Amino acid sequence: MALFKRIFYRKPQERLLEISERIYVFDCCFSTDVLDEDGYKVYMSLIVGQLNDHFPESSFMVFNFKEGERPSQISDILSQYEMTVMDYPRQYEGCPLLPLEMIHYFLRSSESWLSLQGQQNVLLMHCERGGWPILAFMLASLLLYRKQYSDEQKTLDMVYKQAPKILLQLLSPLNPQPSQLRGERVQASYTSLRTGPESTE
Are 124 and 60 contacting, i.e. CB atoms less than 8 angstroms apart?
A: yes
User: Residue 141: what residue type?
Assistant: S
Where helices occur in 79-151 by DSSP H, the ranges are 100-115, 132-145
The answer to whether 28 is a known catalytic residue is no
Q: Could you give the CA distance from residue 53 to residue 147 in angstroms, rounded to a whole number?
A: 30
Q: Could you give the CA distance from residue 88 to residue 198 in angstroms, rounded to a whole number?
A: 24
Return the number of other C-beta atoms located less than 10 Å from residue 177's C-beta: 13
Strand partners, 20: 23
Find the catalytic residue in 28, 29, 95, 127: 127
Catalytic residue numbers read: 127
